[in-house]
Amino acid sequence: MSILTRRGRVRRGTSLARQLLWLQALVLLTVVTTATVVAYLDARSALERAAEQRTRAVVESLADSPLVVDAVAAGDATAVLQPFVEQVRADTGLSFITVMAPDRTRFTHPDPAQIGRPFVGTVAPALAGETFSETYTGTLGPSLRTTGPVFGADGDVVALVSAGLTVDVVGADLADAVPGILGTAAVTLAVGALGSWAVSRRLRRQTGGLDATTMAALLEHHEAVLHAVREGLVLLDRDGRVTLANDEARRLLDLDGDPAGRRLDELGLPAELAAALGSAERGVDEVHLTDTRVLLVNRSPARSSGRTGSVVTLRDHTELQALTGERDSVRAFAESLRAQAHEAANRLHATVSLVELGRSREAVEFATAQLAAAQELTDRVVGAVDEPVLAALLLGKAATAAERGVRLEVDPGTSVGVTGIPGGDLVTVVGNLLDNAIDAALAGEPPREVQVGVWDDGDCLEVRVEDSGPGLAEEDVERAFRRGWSTKADPDGAPAGLGRGLGLALVQQVVRRHGGTVGVRPGPGAEFRVSIPLSVPAGVPR
């Protein structure tokens, strides 16, 4: 069952941070307990090794002492050795030191009543000349003892020496070490618990107190949204590296594979688009071009844990731009028809007036001349251009130019068959070039003229548009095809080039998509030349 928290987030069961805290506590307790047991066992082993070393050192020292050999040889071992051995035992802190005959008869012992009695323990290795250690239960109880031989002058074993510490003494030493072991374990446990609590608290802040099930569900929803959303989504870190790009973003940017972890300048994007995506400033509905698409880019900074990145959304504006171009073309055709209707009405009015004045001959001559001039352009264009969209565009632009006071002349060499180029692309290229040329001619001195020629040579479609305007400066030729650059002022009177200039960028996009070229001749009366390779479908007559 889920409940809604005060912050509006959904919680289910125990939070991930709390689960991690309990898991860390269990692991920490297990580790500390294991370490404590290991430390205890290691301390006991170390004390046993130390006890063995102490007893072995005492046994070897006494076995090499001439006093012991001489006392045993003189037959008065107890009287000579008992006080000496007890002094050594007191100085070394051992529980017992026993010097005995090879037959186990004790010469010395901490308890004088045990002198003369047989030694309790293993002596066979010592009789064989070996010094060895063992844990054995003797008259003083369980003890860790070392037993070794005493050699006479002839090399025979003349006596044995055994020294040891009782288990109680070793246990007392071990008990002294236990508080240190337990204290270290307690400090380690406290520090570990504090660290686990700090990590858990930080994790709780970062996960919003959500449990693992909820986080898994949110991740599934996150992935589903990323794949289902119709907008491209790109997340960037503060260094300009891509942290996430959904399927739509990869499609719109023509990316192969997952670009996560790569910088924008490593993705092969147009420089202007890469700079726009990586900008730290907020952007709203910015239009940018790739070789194949028109993209609408929105950009917003994003902050997470003190780090600043950005969120970029992309919308495919290509189809809308094409529809807009078609709409503009239809509007241009409608305007040209309106202009022609208006011009025809004026001519008809003049003709009727001449008839009313009784000058019928002049009326016929005037009407015939006007009809012939209009029909000449139509016949020339329709006869030379087999592409209906292109023919209609040229006629429409001629009428629009005439209404605006610009003479549009179609080159007599114009001749275009079936090109195989989509009509929308033809409208984009020729229409934008003519619109710019008419605007440029209006900015120049009379006579205001535009010349256009379109022809195909079998391999390429060639377009040439020249105007009588002021032209382009050398430094503006390259910038002319950048999105947003324009020689015209914006409608609100702002300086030129701040809010317009998409036409030539679209022309370059279409030409580049078809593998063609576009060139500009600067200077007074700019001339634009476009060359597009033709790929006419098989079976279509040229």
pLDDT digits (tens, 9 = 90+) for 387-431: 888 888 888 888 788 878 898 998 888 888 888 888 878 888 998
H/E element, 359:
none
Q: Give Cβ neighbours of residue 115 (< 8 Å, ≥ 6 apart).
A: 78, 82, 106, 107, 108, 109
Kindly report the CATH number that applies to the domain delimited by 230-316: 3.30.450.20
Q: Which two tokens mark 235?
A: 């997340």
**Is it the case that residue 464 has pLDDT exceeding 90?**
yes
Q: What is the pLDDT of residue 6?
A: 39
**In the chain, what are the domain boundaries?**
20-174, 230-316, 377-486+501-533
pLDDT mean over 327-353: 68
- pTM exceeds 0.75 for this model: no
Q: Which residue has the higher pLDDT, 224 or 29?
A: 29
pLDDT band at residue 19 using 50, 70 and 90 as cut-offs: low
pLDDT in tens, 154-195: 888 889 999 988 877 655 665 666 677 677 767 776 776 777
Domains 230-316 and 377-486+501-533 share a fold: no
Contact status, residue 302 vs residue 313, Cβ threshold 8 Å:
no
Q: What pLDDT is recorded for position 181?
A: 65
Q: 511: Cβ–Cβ under 8 A, 6 or more apart, which residues? A: 429, 517, 518, 530, 532
Q: Where are the beta strands (DSSP E) in 102-231?
A: 132-138, 141-151, 157-166
Phi-psi region of 161 (alpha: psi -120 to 50; beta: other; left: phi over 0): beta
Lowest mean pLDDT among 20-29, 147-156, 482-491: 482-491
pLDDT tens digits for 95-142?
889 999 999 899 999 888 888 889 888 889 999 889 998 887 777 777
In this predicted structure, what is the pLDDT of residue 496? 37
**The tokens of 264 are what?**
């924008």
And the tokens for 331? 């509007």
Q: What is the distance between the alpha carbons of residues 325 and 463, in angstroms, rounded to a whole number?
A: 19
Specify the CATH number of the domain 377-486+501-533: 3.30.565.10
One-letter amino acid identity for 170?
V
Looking at the DSSP bridge assignments, the partners of residue 311 are 235, 300
Is the pLDDT assigned to residue 73 strictly greater than 90? no
Which CATH architecture fits 20-174? 2-Layer Sandwich (3.30)
Q: What is the pLDDT of residue 69?
A: 86
Least confident range of 293-307, 379-393, 405-419: 293-307
- Residues pairing with 134 in the sheet: 145
Residue 317 is predicted with a pLDDT of 72
139 DSSP 8-state letter = T
Residue with the two structure tokens 């802040």 = 205
* Percent of the chain's residues with pLDDT above 90: 8
The residues, any chain, with a CB within 8 Å of residue 20's CB and separated by 6 or more, are 199, 200, 203
Rounded CA gap, 217 and 223, in Å? 10
* Residue among 518, 427, 530, 532 nearest 477 (CA): 518
Do 522 and 504 form a contact (C-beta atoms < 8 A)?
A: no
**pLDDT at residue 367 greater than cutoff 80:** no
Whole-number pLDDT of residue 279: 80
As a three-state string, the secondary structure of 184-206 is HHHHHHHHHHHHHHHHHHHHHHH
